[in-house]
Structure 1
Amino acid sequence: MAGRERMASMDAAWLQMEEPANLMMITAVLWFDGAVELERLRAVVRERLVERYPRFRQCVVPGPLGAPHWEDAPDFELEEHLSTLRVPESAGRAGLEALVGDWLGVPLDRSRPLWHIHLVRGAPGGDVLLARLHHCISDGIALARVLLSLTEPVDAGAVPEAEARDEGSDAQLPSEVERPPRAPGWMRFARGARSALRKGAEMVREPILAGDLVREGAKGAAALGKLLVLPPDPRSPLRGPLSPRKLAAWSEPIELERVKAVGRTLGGTVNDVLLTTVTGALRRYLATRDAPLEDVHALVPVNLRPLDVPVPRELGNRFGVVFLRLPVHLPEPRRRLREVAKRMEQLKRSPEAVVTFGLLELLGRTPAALERAVVDVMGTKASLVATNVPGPRQPVSLAGSRLRGLTFWVPQAGHVGLGVSLFSYSGQVTVGVASDASRVPDPGAIVAAFQEELDSLATLAP
């Protein structure tokens, strides 16, 4: 049939992973100065999203033997994917966060292309876009770039596409490694990893995976062995059964210069400072819940495609994950910073991301029940998903309205109930928290703890 193609196994893995209490959606919230003109927005979305990327006008259908395929939607209507909502002005910021949290728990309609953009009226300060896109379409970094490609520079020198790093900073977790190995399956990853990462190591300045990476298959085997024997994270309020109800909260934008100043004073990179602040915020939050102050692992997505070339028209998922152990047990902030830097340095030389990419690709070829079982086991080894997405250095606008800020979440796979996102844009960083109501019923408390922890770090002497 014309317009039908088999879904890549990595993309199918994310489609099969979805459950009612654990939706595999990527969610972005963008807020603007003043109103966004609907007709102008509709024209931009049609031209730069729907007409440019075929996945946004294709449905998922079962193929031979049940394998999922992409097929052109015969009755595609943009109006079914771009709608307006209203939040009462009296509800303020809390009302907007509640609205976003409600939609985090609503699945996308599988009879249509798997995305939806809501234009939210009545929010304080201006209109808001709430974008929900299924992970089977593409990974978070690529979709962030796709959404930002809808924007235009406010100033002549601005760059609308997501940048690899802020000027003079390293405020990012994803690594800009070239391309993942072509050979399917983790057992064949070593040869492809060497060629895939050789050029990437030259491109990357301060990623999670820098320097000489996979030089021998033995390193990959050791990384796989480490993942398999990694014990489950300790029991805490962050882990346990999930519910369909989700919650969201985010901070006011934080000046990136504040983060840089802390790094200069205490001797750490911007990335180290941000991760140390997240660690301290979790320590503060767990203390309020009378929970043990033990180290927890964060699942950190690692980009495996270059950021210096356009996102391919077919999109798709090209990333792995690493397990970063956050030193929650350390009471002294300077020691936490040093330990975060040390553990990050170890991950920079680890092939874990390539191993997990191959594993996810392999799981996409297995029955959904087996995939969920494996993902659930891996999910017990982490308590949260942490992402740091680099955005434009300079201000941008969308459909004529200036973008003030944004936050962005990837799904919490493996029954993980907490996601912490850091998004840098125009010299500022926003921290966003998405949570399962059964695990973290007050995500705003973690946002507040992040801000308190950053204030505390800023008062420390060198």
Structure 2
Amino acid sequence: MERLSGLDASFLYLETPAQLLHVSGLIELDPSTIPGGYSFAALSAELDRRVRSMPEFRRTLRDNRFNLDHPVWVDDPDFDIDRHLHRIAVPEPGGRAELAELYGHLAGQPLDRTRPLWEMWVIEGLPDGKIAVMAKMHHAGADGVTGANLMSRLCGLTPDESPSSATDNGTATNSAGDGGDLAIALGGLAGFVRRPLELARLLPSATPLLTGWISRARRGAAMPAPFTAPRLPFNANITRRRIIAYTQLDLNTVKQVKNAFGVKVNDVVLTLVASALRSYLAERDELPDTSLVAMVPVSVHASSDRPGTNQVSAMFTQLRSDIADPAERLRAGAEANDVAKLHNNAIGATLLQDWAQFSGPAVFGTAMRVYADLRLAERHPVIHNLVVSNVPGPPVPLYFLGAHITAMYPLGPVFHGAGLNVTVMSLEDRLNVGLIACQDLVPDLWSLVDDFQHGLDELAAAAN
């Protein structure tokens, strides 16, 4: 068995019927490249063969009432691909509205915790003979980088290439193992006993963290503090209903803008988010005078030695949506990002992971339900306006079970108080932009996504 880290487990504890904490990916495929042609039965058989060599797809949660620590992962002895891979057709007439409604419906369904926490929906009947796959995996088992890596291991660089993780007989190269109730309870007791010592080790660092933040703020070298963001319509309690929108941008144009202004790709991405939101909110007379604040997950896979799947820290940055000129918005946003990165690095890569170890279902779960029931997200100052994540992908073609991937739109979770998530992923020469929101807070999400191309056109014009 493998015990979940506190950060991994917190995504279980904080989940509610409205706040679903899985990550998703919408993958558009050209099935004409599949050797022998496409059939659902053949795709299902090939996926089954591949995931049996990948223990992350076959592990399930196990817990009991005597366990004083976080739950554990164990191998599912009854793993069945038919419980995870489903087939559906696009409703007539199959246009963008019907697709978006279907994708949003699938994204708004919780995962079954009695099984391995993932599922895929194969969606047939798209225009031009394409098919799509909606892949979902719980955040307890995958962060952005981990999820992208898992999907890449199901892919090849040619249509007939098998992933490197697969073995000849399709059996696992390693596994989560098994764990009985007594082993889970005893291991949980040992972890519980260590908690006071861990807390004593962390407490001395809490005061310098706060005083350091204040000192940095006085020097203008601090990232925005939580609870300082302006309130927007989607900074409210969310419901279970989801809406999805997506677009593709030319990655070469993004890089041309980056080079012309001497900034990073992530700076351009965040400015595109700011530009789109600025246009969207201005059209509705909802644009605040102060800058929007985004929470940007930062991967610490390369710098953290803590256990667990989720290896992230959280960075707050100003999007500088208060600046009208697109070129100045990009320069100011890049400067704000540099300040936020330096501050985040000074805090430490493992802060979030260390403190999350003290999370627990009784406290976190109850607190989250009370928070939602009392609609507290609408009563206290806004923590941050939205989540923006940038996941780098390969610059070469990928083939999912033999089908050429023509688009891969990542979709993160939304939270009470932050009902909009923007995630981008590069693939080949395209930047795939995926937006997901609470439908009751952002009913016209397509209007927002259409502003991304306009924002890129503005920056490209300013770069010339």
Alignment TM-score > 0.5, same fold: yes
Alignment size in residue pairs? 409
Instruction: Work out the CA distance in 2 between the residues paired with 1:150 and 1:278.
Output: 30
Instruction: Work out the CA distance in 2 between the residues paired with 1:185 and 1:45.
Output: 44
Given candidates 296, 319, 326, the residue that maps to 2:312 is 319
Instruction: Work out the CA distance in 2 between the residues paired with 1:63 and 1:228.
Output: 41
Q: CA deviation at 1:324?
A: 1.4
Q: CA deviation at 1:139?
A: 1.3
Over 3 Å counting, the alpha-carbon distance change for 1:21 and 1:186 in structure 2 is farther
Equivalent residue, structure 2, for 1:361? 357
Q: Does 1:338 align with 2:328?
A: no
TM-score (norm 2): 0.78
Instruction: Work out the CA distance in 1 between the residues paired with 2:283 and 2:240.
Output: 25
Instruction: Work out the CA distance in 2 between the residues paired with 1:280 and 1:296.
Output: 11
Q: Does 1:142 align with 2:146?
A: yes
Deviations 1:71-93 (A, max 9, x none): 43343211111111111362223
Equivalent residue, structure 2, for 1:18? 15
Equivalent residue, structure 1, for 2:180? none
Q: CA deviation at 1:432?
A: 1.3
Q: Does 1:275 align with 2:279?
A: no
Instruction: Work out the CA distance in 2 between the residues paired with 1:315 and 1:41.
Output: 31
Any conservation in 1 of the 2:15–2:21 contact (CA below 8 Å)? yes
Over 3 Å counting, the alpha-carbon distance change for 1:291 and 1:381 in structure 2 is same
Letter aligned with residue 316 of structure 2: F
Equivalent residue, structure 2, for 1:418? 420
Q: How does 1:171-182 map to 2 (within 5 A)?
A: none
Equivalent residue, structure 2, for 1:93? 96
| Ranges in structure 2 where 5+ consecutive residues have no aligned partner | 33-37, 166-196, 216-221
Given candidates 220, 243, 246, the residue that maps to 2:242 is 246
Over 3 Å counting, the alpha-carbon distance change for 1:145 and 1:190 in structure 2 is farther
Given candidates 29, 33, 39, the residue that maps to 1:32 is 29
Q: Does 1:233 align with 2:229?
A: yes
Q: How does 1:61-76 map to 2 (within 5 A)?
A: 61-65=63-67, 67-76=70-79
Q: Secondary structure at 1:287's aligned position in 2?
A: helix
Q: CA deviation at 1:303?
A: 0.8
Any conservation in 2 of the 1:237–1:289 contact (CA below 8 Å)? no
Given candidates 120, 123, 131, the residue that maps to 1:127 is 131
Q: Secondary structure at 1:91's aligned position in 2?
A: coil
Over 3 Å counting, the alpha-carbon distance change for 1:60 and 1:115 in structure 2 is farther
Any conservation in 2 of the 1:237–1:439 contact (CA below 8 Å)? yes
Any conservation in 1 of the 2:275–2:321 contact (CA below 8 Å)? yes
Given candidates 349, 361, 386, the residue that maps to 2:342 is 349
Q: Secondary structure at 1:236's aligned position in 2?
A: coil
Deviations 1:105-130 (A, max 9, x none): 11111222211111111112311111
Any conservation in 2 of the 1:31–1:128 contact (CA below 8 Å)? yes
Any conservation in 2 of the 1:53–1:315 contact (CA below 8 Å)? no
Given candidates 440, 443, 449, the residue that maps to 2:442 is 440
Q: CA deviation at 1:322?
A: 1.0
Instruction: Work out the CA distance in 1 between the residues paired with 2:284 and 2:350.
Output: 36
Q: Secondary structure at 2:271's aligned position in 1?
A: helix
Q: CA deviation at 1:292?
A: 3.4
Instruction: Work out the CA distance in 2 between the residues paired with 1:421 and 1:328.
Output: 18
Equivalent residue, structure 2, for 1:188? 202
User: Share of identical aligned residues, percent?
Assistant: 29
Instruction: Work out the CA distance in 1 between the residues paired with 2:138 and 2:46.
Output: 20
Over 3 Å counting, the alpha-carbon distance change for 1:357 and 1:7 in structure 2 is closer
Any conservation in 2 of the 1:186–1:358 contact (CA below 8 Å)? no
Instruction: Work out the CA distance in 2 between the residues paired with 1:39 and 1:263.
Output: 45
Given candidates 383, 387, 390, the residue that maps to 2:389 is 387
Instruction: Work out the CA distance in 2 between the residues paired with 1:288 and 1:258.
Output: 26
